[in-house]
Amino acid sequence: MTLPVRLPPPYTLLPFDEIDSTNAEARRLAEGGAPEGTLVWARRQSAGRGRRGRAWQSPLGNLYMSLLLRPDQPLEQAAQLSFVAAIALCDALSGLVPPMVEIRVKWPNDILIHGRKCAGLLLESSAGSGGKLDWLVIGVGVNLVGHPEDLPYPATDLAFEGATDIEPELVMAAFARHFLRWSDSWLERGFEPIRVAWLDRAHGLGERLEVRLDKETFGGRFEGLAEDGALIVGLDDGGRRHVAAGDVFPLG
C-alpha cells in the first residue's frame, strides 16, 4: 500500500487493505513483543468491534486504526489514556473540518458532531507483573463518509455534516500528532490538565442525561468529571453519583 503521509517517531505504521480488526491485530502484535507506537491501520475491517462487544460497521472510506502503547503505569492510571485519546481525536478533527462543524467529546469515549456520534474509542489491555500494564491498545474508528442507522445513539459522518474530501490518512496523521502532544502532557503533569481539557470539549455539561448500567438505569444531570475520570451525575434528590463505567444518553 502506498502511503501519502508520514508519521513522526515513535510511531511505526502497519497498513492493511483489509483485516479482521485493527484492535485484534494490535493485540496479536503486542503479545508478540511489538514496541510502543505500533499503529495498525486498515482500509476495511471484516470483524470490527466497538465497546461491550458491539459490532463496528467498517465500510471503505472511514478510518480504522489501533495504537499499541506500553505505559509504565498502574492499570487505573493508564485508563486515563482514553481521555487523552478523546482530546487528541477531537482536536485532530476540529483542525480538519469547517468552523461550523462542532466537534465535542462524550463520556466515556465517543466523539460527536452536533450531538451525533461520529467516532469512538475502544481500549483493551493486558496486565503484567506488579499490577502494571504489559500493553494497552487504543482502537479508533471515525465515520468519514458513512455511518450506521441502527444504533441506540444517533450517528453521523463528516461528509454528511458538510466536511467532505477528508481522507483517512489525514485524520490518522493529525491524531498521531495531537496524541503525542497530549500524552506527553499527561506523563509530565498528570491527569488534572487532561480532565480540564476534556471538560472544555465536553458535550452536554450541565444538561440532563440517562445513565444505563448493566443492572440499573437512572437519570440526573451531567455535573463534571471526577479526578479518577468517573462521570459525576447530580441526582434529583440533591445527591451525587460517580459512574466508572456505563452508557449515557441525553434526556429532554
More confident residue, 59 or 95: 95
Residue 94 has pLDDT above 60, yes or no: yes
Q: How far apart are CA 47 and CA 5, in angstroms?
A: 26
pLDDT for the residue numbered 251: 87
Q: How many CB atoms within 10 Å of residue 25?
A: 22
Which of the residue ranges 49-58, 69-78, 157-166, 221-230 would you say has the lowest mean pLDDT? 49-58
% of the chain with per-residue pLDDT over 90: 79
The model's confidence at residue 228, banded by pLDDT at 50, 70 and 90, is very high
Residue 4 region, left (φ>0) first, then alpha (ψ -120 to 50), else beta?
alpha
CATH 3.40.50.2020 applies to domain 12-200: no
Q: What is the CATH number of domain 208-250?
A: 2.30.30.100
Beta strands 12-19; 38-45: pairing state: parallel
Q: By three-state DSSP, how is residue 92 classified?
A: helix
Q: Average pLDDT, stretch 13-21?
A: 95
Q: What is the pTM of this model?
A: 0.93
What local confidence, expressed as pLDDT, does residue 84 receive?
Answer: 98
**What are the residue boundaries of the structural domains of the chain, listed by start?**
12-200, 208-250
57 pLDDT tier (thresholds 50, 70, 90): low
Burial class (CB in 10 A: 0-12, 13-18, 19+), 138: buried
Residue 240 has pLDDT above 70, yes or no: yes
Give me the chain's average pLDDT, please. Answer: 92
3-state secondary structure of 130: helix
Q: Which of 180, 27, 203 is nearest to 104 (CA)?
A: 203
Instruction: Compute and round to an integer the Cα radius of gyration of the chain.
Output: 18
Model confidence band, residue 2 (pLDDT cutoffs 50, 70, 90):
low
Does 208-250 match 12-200 at the fold level? no
Lay out the sheet containing 12-19: strands in order across.
12-19, 38-45, 63-69, 133-142, 116-127, 110-113, 103-106
Per-residue pLDDT reduced to its tens digit, 106-121: 999 999 999 999 999 9
